[in-house]
Amino acid sequence: MALLDIRGLQTWFDTRAGTVKAVNGVNLSIQPGETLALVGESGSGKSVTAYSVLRLIEAAGGRIAGGEVLFKGTDLLKLDAAGIRAVRGNRIAMIFQEPLSALNPVQSIGTQIVEALRLHRDIGLRAARERAVELLELVRMPSPRERAEEFPHRLSGGMRQRAMIAIALACEPELLIADEPTTALDVTTQAQILALLRELQQRLGMAMLLITHDLGVVAEIADRVAVMYAGRVVEEGAVGALFDRPAHPYTRGLLDAVRIEALPPGSRLPEIPGIVPSLLDLPPGCAFAPRCGRASAICQAELPALRAIGVGRRHACCHPHLEPVPA
């Protein structure tokens, strides 16, 4: 059974201008121990999908309009407030993009880890403090015992992200949601944090939902990828297969945009023409059709469903690319 199974998720924001359908029928599943990368440009709904899993969307003014989020068979959307609190941080944890703003500025990081532990575990203060130091050691924090006493603003960006990972891992979650965990870090630190996440994930056997727009990060640590466009998953598959044979024209456009070393010097950089459609006013057919070179009348008329093309490979396109990317 899948660890997490998202079925037909719809998350909408009611605004004065109308209903923004940020997530509009997303289907995803994550197996235990697997890393699924959710990619897409800003506004494609990847973060909203992740926040919907933990039901953190009401605070942002949104509502979950439909669908199911099954975590080991339990629909998280149907749990009461205490039920969902018992899942948050305990069985599903989350790390954020900007560690400085996600850490409480007036508590030492040790205290914040202790807090996370004692929310879900019946553990004494002294034992929790010891465990906090162990966790900081686990995330390779230099001199963890001293760092536990430090306040977030006294740490470097990489150390803050390590502290946040330690908080997230406090209760040994089965699923870690990482919302662009390396975007705010410099390149060397990025590589270290990615290596750390990969190592911890293998060691603790947890699954990871990685939200990113960086295809390099995806290639490095993900097992599978789901590409989102305008609130829907348009293509999904194992990293290698999807990168070699992107079927959806949007995926192909994204990959072309980063494969620039193959281009002859001086040539124009490839781009996807047009802009992302407004989520307030989506076209009736395929949302990518207005920007797509392969679009035909049927693309404008009806919404293509996700269809399977081999094991674990799905796409939502009426005119998919079938040939591999030229090497």
Residues of the shown chain interacting with another protein in the complex, contacts defined by CB under 8 A: 54, 56, 59, 81, 85-90, 93-94, 96, 98, 100-107, 115-116, 119-120, 151-154, 164, 167-168, 170
Q: 61 vs 310, which CB is nearer to another protein?
A: 61
Measured from the CB of residue 116, what is the shortest distance to another protein in angstroms? 5
Measured from the CB of residue 61, what is the shortest distance to another protein in angstroms? 11
From 184, 185, 166, 186, select the one nearest 176 (Cα to Cα): 166
Q: 37 vs 54, which CB is nearer to another protein?
A: 54
Please report which residue ranges of the chain form alpha helices under DSSP H: 46-53, 81-87, 99-102, 109-120, 125-138, 144-147, 157-169, 187-204, 215-221, 239-244, 249-258, 297-301
**222 in Cβ contact with 36 (< 8 Å):** yes
Q: 97 vs 201, which CB is nearer to another protein?
A: 97
Measured from the CB of residue 220, what is the shortest distance to another protein in angstroms? 25
The token pair that represents 146 in the structure block: 């001293």
From 18, 64, 100, 84, select the one nearest 280 (Cα to Cα): 18
Return the half-sphere exposure (C-beta side, CA atoms, 13 A cut-off) of residue 266: 0
Q: 87 vs 215, which CB is nearer to another protein?
A: 87
Measured from the CB of residue 4, what is the shortest distance to another protein in angstroms? 16
Q: 36 vs 168, which CB is nearer to another protein?
A: 168
The rounded distance, in Å, linking the Cα atoms of 212 and 207 is 16
Q: 96 vs 288, which CB is nearer to another protein?
A: 96
Measured from the CB of residue 261, what is the shortest distance to another protein in angstroms? 36
Measured from the CB of residue 300, what is the shortest distance to another protein in angstroms? 39
From 160, 158, 220, 155, select the one nearest 188 (Cα to Cα): 158
Please report which residue ranges of 259-303 form alpha helices under DSSP H: 297-301
Measured from the CB of residue 159, what is the shortest distance to another protein in angstroms? 14
The rounded distance, in Å, linking the Cα atoms of 203 and 31 is 16
Measured from the CB of residue 168, what is the shortest distance to another protein in angstroms? 8
SS3 314: strand
Q: 19 vs 104, which CB is nearer to another protein?
A: 104
Q: 35 vs 97, which CB is nearer to another protein?
A: 97
The rounded distance, in Å, linking the Cα atoms of 91 and 206 is 10
Pairing, β 35-39 against β 224-229: parallel
